[in-house]
Amino acid sequence: MNRLRPPTAAVIVALGLAACSGSSGSGGSTPSPPASHPSVPHATAAPSAPPPAQSSVSGQPTGQPAGTQVITYPPWAAAGRLADGISAAAAQSGSCFTTSSATTAPGAYRCLAGNALYDPCFADTSSGAGKVACPNPENPDSVVIMTLTAPLPPPVTAAGSPIIPWLLVLTNGQHCLTVTGTGGTLGGKNETYGCPGGGVYGQPDQSDRQWSVLFAASGAPASAMTPMAVIRAYI
């Protein structure tokens, strides 16, 4: 007696194809698409802020012309108190014998406390308290408060005179104070500003927004004078 053999895989595939073919006719029903889930709105990301401009050594964003920051030095505020950001490092008594040789700024004087010479010192003219503030060239935000033992001398600077910067801060970190006595010479140029590690020779070139000077380290020959940009100038 012959036994029935199970259908082969080929037969199963053929039967499946025939069933699909039959269902695709005009009388067949089209299977429904799977149910879709309700769409969830995606949060729209806020536009990212542009990256901040990179700063150069002089504090100016790159892509813009660099420039020297010219600071009108204001050590005193109203009512006889120091301006914000200015602090007293010491208090002394002394007198001012003439207007400043370091700057032509109004209210700037040349003063003595014992054997110590201070120039410039800025008068507190708002309160009549008889005091001057003498800044530290290495840190102009720190001052010596000098109580005057004699009245201030009369001003001698003519109105409208150009104000000479009394302090230059260079890109090499040097804080250079106006030479008010006899300075040296180098390469035929007079030393105009004295710095802890050298000097500035000739006058600052102010023809551009970025001022520059000729700087030479202490003991260097004239050939070593180097153009140096001025970061800040205090007047």
Tens of pLDDT, residue by residue over 41-54, are 333 343 443 333 33
Give dist(CA 4, CA 98) in Å, integer.
131
| 137, pLDDT greater than 60 | yes
Which run of H or of E encompasses 92? strand 87-99
Residue 49: per-residue pLDDT: 39
Burial pattern 187-210, b for ≥16 Cβ within 10 A else e, equals eebebbbbbeebbbbbebeeeeeb
Residue 45: per-residue pLDDT: 40
Confidence band for 216, pLDDT divided at 50, 70 and 90: very high
Residue 74: per-residue pLDDT: 81
- Percent of the residues in the chain that have a pLDDT greater than 90, as a whole number: 59
Confidence band for 14, pLDDT divided at 50, 70 and 90: very low
pLDDT (mean) for 127-138: 89
Give dist(CA 183, CA 216) in Å, integer.
13
Nearest to 203 by CA among 186, 221, 190, 216: 190
pLDDT (tens digit, 9 = 90+) per residue, 199-209? 999 999 999 99
| 27, pLDDT greater than 70 | no
Mean pLDDT of the chain: 77
- What residues pair up with 132 in beta bridges, in sequence order? 123, 146
pTM above 0.75, yes or no: no
| 142, pLDDT greater than 90 | yes
| 68, pLDDT greater than 90 | yes
Which segments of the chain does DSSP mark as H helices, in order? 9-23
Higher pLDDT, 41 or 191: 191
pLDDT (mean) for 172-180: 96
Confidence band for 21, pLDDT divided at 50, 70 and 90: very low
Residue 157: per-residue pLDDT: 61
Q: Reduced to 3 states, what is the DSSP secondary structure of residue 207?
A: coil
Residue 134: per-residue pLDDT: 98
Residue 159: per-residue pLDDT: 62
Residue 211: per-residue pLDDT: 96
- Percent of the residues in the chain that have a pLDDT greater than 70, as a whole number: 70
Give dist(CA 100, CA 118) in Å, integer.
9
Higher pLDDT, 23 or 174: 174
